[in-house]
Structure 1
Amino acid sequence: MSASRPRTLADLQRWRRTRARRSWYKRSFRLQVMLLVGLLLAGMLLAQGAYLNHRKAEIISQQMGERALAVAKTVASMPQIINAFATPDPSSIIQPLAERVRNETGARYVVVGNAQSIRYSHPLPERLGQRMVGGDNDQALIHGQSYVSEATGSLGTAIRGKAPVWDDEGNIIGIVSVGFMMDRVAMDVARYNSLGWALVALMICLGFAGAYWLSQHLKKVILGLEPYEIARLAMEKEAILQSIHEGILAVNREGHITLVNEQARRFLNLTDDHVLLGQPIHDVVPNSRLLEVLRRGEQEFDQEMWLGDHPVVVNRVPILHEGEIEGAVATFRSRREIVDLSHALTQASRDVDMLRAQAHEFSNKLYTISGLLQLERIEEALALIHQETERAQAQMSFLMRNVADAVLSGTLLGKLTRARELGVSLEIDEQSSLSCPLTPTGQEVMMSVVGNLLDNACHAALNGPSNEPKVRLFFTDLGEQLLIEVEDNGPGVPAQFAESIFQEGFSTKTGKHQGIGLALVAKLCRQHGGAVTQEESELGGACFIAVLDRSLCAQPDQQQFKNALNNSRHINTYNNLNNRND
């Protein structure tokens, strides 16, 4: 037997109960609503009907008793009946009167007896002169009370009204007993109750019809979904809201918070047990602007704001239902992450450009060498090879001798290649040096600062008045700070733009996605204990001076000293070999 199947009788019973619960749980929502509401109404109506019919039966029985008692009192007070007790044959006078009253009132019997309970009247004449049956005459004959009782007499069980007969001197001389049979009372009760039960049955039918209509309406309102499907969607929605990387805040039309996910809690620096639901949004996030969205009903996209100590980009949209604003939702994401992503994409694009430039340059050189060889101009081909080798050796030798960080050296080589491709003369000052390697953070910062400054300088030089665009780079780590100086012979920066060029989005260039480089350089310098300034260049264009804290450099150790020594030996050996070959 499979592991999922029951193994014992107890397991089988539990399995069946579980299957039954699941089948009921997944039963049609309309059927569940109709059955539950219909059965509830039926139970209430049946209980109410039973109580009312029982009460009605009691009232009918009570009315029958009161009617019998009234007839008994009336007969007991009749002068003919009272006077007949003094005659030698009371039955001859009382019997016709009692029968006439019985026929007129519809009573089953009207019995008149003397003080010893001997009958003077009875529906059956043969029972005249016999003793009355029931044993409940003492209360009237001894105590003189009029009352209603239920007892079994000679004609059967009946509701009886009993009243004493008084003479003129106030003595009890007899008793009158008027009875209505219980079977007749039951028939009257059944006749009256049948209408009540018919109404109850009609109301139950109407209740089930209303329950069916209610189930149809609810099914339409919940878009035809079953309860377990709604529960699953709710759980899925909650899981999605808590797992997405964007913070979400939702408010109702009164401006009270109705939804906040985990990312929003982290942005707001709130603990997990902090209760936010139901609180006014202006008390939790005063600058959310959701109240303005509720008031105006306008959407706002990609708006910048501070949420706690996080710079975020916010989207705000109203919640509309049938043209009415029911609430508003704000989604926000960290601007730092967007900036970091932008930096990473910029760096990747820069690396691709450098590789493309190198591939293009060396492709041209290889084509030239191939053409010279095909023309059997071997001397010229070797001269070109030696020329390129000497230039590359000079650049590599300078970088290996003066730049202790390999990542920065690679960046500078790429920029040199890119400048040659653009037709810009990029010079690195011979006094430039970086004696210590950079930390991982320092490498990222230096690549961004140097790369952006050189790109802007090359663009400015190409658009300058000179036919020989020129850019000069100087950097050093002497002292307590890192110094980078980039100048060009371009048109320079107009005086009215001297302060604006470091603002994000401002640019003197045309086209999209401009105004980012210098703003990023200024931001990095501020974050790392420095600044960036602009002045007039000796070359005639602009000169940008960036200062960074020296903490971006790693502390030199023995291994770094050995690596630097080996690099120096390698350079000397390499140069000696080249000189020997020449």
Structure 2
Amino acid sequence: MSASRPRTIADIQRWRRARARRSWLTRSFRLQVMVLVGVLLAGMLLAQGTYLNHRKAEIISDQMGERALAVAKSVASIPALIESFSDENPAATIQPIAERIRLRTGARYVVVGNTQGMRYSHPLPERLGLPMVGGDNQRALLHGESYVSEATGSLGEAIRGKTPVFDGEGNILGLVSVGFMLDRIAMDVGRHTSFGWWLVALMIVLGFAGAYLLSRHLKKVILGLEPHEIARLAMEKEAILQSIHEGILAINREGRITLVNQQARRFLGLAATEKAVLGQHIQAVVPNSRLLEVLERGEQQFDQQMWLGDHPVVVNRVPISYEGEIEGAVATFRSRREIVDLSQALSQASRDVDMLRAQAHEFSNKLYTISGLLQLDRIDDALALIHQESERAQAQMNFLMQHVADPVLSGTLLGKLTRARELGVSLEIDEQSSLSQPLTAIGQEVLMSVVGNLLDNACHAALQGASDEPQVRLFFTDLGEQLLIEVEDNGPGVPEKDIEHIFREGYSTKPGKHRGIGLALVVRLCREHGGAVTLEESELGGACFIVVLDRSLCRATAGFS
């Protein structure tokens, strides 16, 4: 086992407690801020306090040395002291003078010596006449210099000011040494710097208090979340924004883009990198976004229709508010085409259900009729009815098999024939109609949508007409370079005032909600596949819709008979 791993149960428990403490320390943002700011401030204050107090100690020491030197020079200039060097007993005159000055100046000693370093004065009288101690007299006695030195004398380590004593002719008679003990200086330094240290300690306490308040405020600003929680939320938000199927675009109060997800970039045809868009003004990127109106008015806008490039979309716009102030706005938009496709798919499913219901109802009625004829013992009539229905169904099947090469379109037409009979509409497929080649997978979807929507609208229009025999006629062909489809009815036709709007999405002459989708879908499919839709007056008296599609919807296979 590694040396860093726990070896016993007690070690394991201590290791777990240590890990728990480290985990709590690393996870507590508030504690991290308080410790970091507090320690940083304390370190700065301690470093500054150390430097200032050290500098103050140096200044005090220098001042004491200068003071000692000044006292020494004053003593060396006393005439009585200078004259006493020629006496037989200089100490008798010099000792009282030196002691008096020592007591007045507070110096530890004032020692006067001759050129041989013999003492003429000393705080301890028994040391008079003995040589001076320290070994730092040469500069004064030999070179006549005045200086400050630090040496250990007979009384201990001291800062000493030394100066020579000159006679009237400039000859060196001796020297004066004035000393202040280093321990006394240290006490003075401690007394003068203690206030600074107390002030540093107070500032450290205040710094930790400020760090505590700062951490508390920051914790409140970030809603009590820890940094790892904020990072996780940011990653989750980014993943959600980039994965949802709706486009999202947000701006700040200056109208500059702050957020755009992948779907929004696809709708807007923007660069793949988000940084190319962020920070730009919304008017330069999406001039018709109307987000600036939301910023100004603070109003919410829901289910608004607009175009983004060549995409019709449904937009929701809401302001972003913080403490009553509007800080920005966000728009979410989804493709209206997808909504239309979904509605069309649901409508197609509903039509299929109605078709199956109609077939079931129709055959149920016929079975009841056959059952009644059999019960009446009219077997020949029952067989005639069976043969009639069989021949009609077989005729429809034969026509579709001979003229329509695609089985999906054949099934769609067969279902529409059944649905028309259920509604009481005579649906006729022109004998000249033909589809000589099968459709591609896309072609099957396009033809089912186009033919299904046109036939449904035609049946509804025929039922609204004045004729007692509603009629619908279908013609289609793939001869030539395009697919041609014509659907006409004997209904009331399209009013002249509605012709300009009939193909617009959401516009319908039928009552009720969720209308105006079929013809708009037909128009879109035609445009996407190189075709067009036109409206003419039908020979039957109603409307005639002519659809042209590109022949590429058919597979390039050999024709059939």
TM-score by length of 2: 0.89
State how 1:263-282 maps to structure 2 within 5 Å.
Answer: 263-267=263-267, 268=269, 270-272=271-273, 275-282=276-283
| Counterpart for residue 490 of structure 2 | 489
Q: Secondary structure at the match of 2:255?
A: coil
State how 1:384-533 maps to structure 2 within 5 Å.
Answer: 384-533=385-534
Structure 1 unmatched runs, 5+: 1-6, 565-582
- The range that moved more, 303-312 or 34-43, is 303-312
- The range that moved more, 313-322 or 127-136, is 313-322
Q: CA deviation at 1:12?
A: 7.3
Letter in 1 for 2:462: A
- 8 Å contact kept, 1:26–1:228: no
Letter in 2 for 1:471: V
Equivalent-residue separation in structure 2 for 1:276 and 1:388 (angstroms) = 67
**CA gap 1:436/1:53 in 2 versus in 1, 3 angstroms:** same
- 8 Å contact kept, 2:344–2:517: no
| Counterpart for residue 88 of structure 1 | 88
- 8 Å contact kept, 1:269–1:308: no
| Counterpart for residue 131 of structure 2 | 131
Q: CA deviation at 1:513?
A: 1.6
Equivalent-residue separation in structure 2 for 1:324 and 1:357 (angstroms) = 60
- The range that moved more, 282-291 or 243-252, is 282-291
1:403-460 deviation per Cα after TM superposition (whole angstroms, max 9, x unaligned): 2222122111211221222222222223333232222222222222221111111111
**CA gap 1:438/1:24 in 2 versus in 1, 3 angstroms:** same
Equivalent-residue separation in structure 2 for 1:379 and 1:19 (angstroms) = 97
Q: CA deviation at 1:155?
A: 0.9
- 8 Å contact kept, 1:528–1:548: yes
1:30-81 deviation per Cα after TM superposition (whole angstroms, max 9, x unaligned): 2222222222222222222222222222122112112111211222222222
Equivalent-residue separation in structure 1 for 2:195 and 2:35 (angstroms) = 26
| Counterpart for residue 254 of structure 2 | 254
Q: CA deviation at 1:253?
A: 2.9
Q: Secondary structure at the match of 2:502?
A: helix
**CA gap 1:245/1:9 in 2 versus in 1, 3 angstroms:** farther
Equivalent-residue separation in structure 2 for 1:435 and 1:547 (angstroms) = 16
Letter in 2 for 1:117: G
1:99 aligns with 2:99: yes
1:374-405 deviation per Cα after TM superposition (whole angstroms, max 9, x unaligned): 56665554444333333322322222232222
| Counterpart for residue 191 of structure 1 | 191
Equivalent-residue separation in structure 2 for 1:326 and 1:359 (angstroms) = 61
- 8 Å contact kept, 2:26–2:32: no
1:363 aligns with 2:364: yes
Letter in 2 for 1:68: A
Q: CA deviation at 1:462?
A: 1.5
Percent of aligned pairs sharing the same letter: 79
Q: Secondary structure at the match of 1:538?
A: coil
**CA gap 1:460/1:190 in 2 versus in 1, 3 angstroms:** same
- The range that moved more, 524-533 or 124-133, is 524-533
1:150 aligns with 2:150: yes
State how 1:208-219 maps to structure 2 within 5 Å.
Answer: 208-219=208-219
1:228-272 deviation per Cα after TM superposition (whole angstroms, max 9, x unaligned): 211211222222223223333333333333333334444535245
TM-score by length of 1: 0.86
Q: Secondary structure at the match of 1:150?
A: strand
- 8 Å contact kept, 2:27–2:228: no
Equivalent-residue separation in structure 2 for 1:414 and 1:139 (angstroms) = 129
Q: CA deviation at 1:124?
A: 0.9
- 8 Å contact kept, 1:45–1:204: yes
- 8 Å contact kept, 1:265–1:272: no
State how 1:164-183 maps to structure 2 within 5 Å.
Answer: 164-183=164-183
**CA gap 1:25/1:128 in 2 versus in 1, 3 angstroms:** closer
User: RMSD over aligned Cα, in angstroms?
Assistant: 3.0
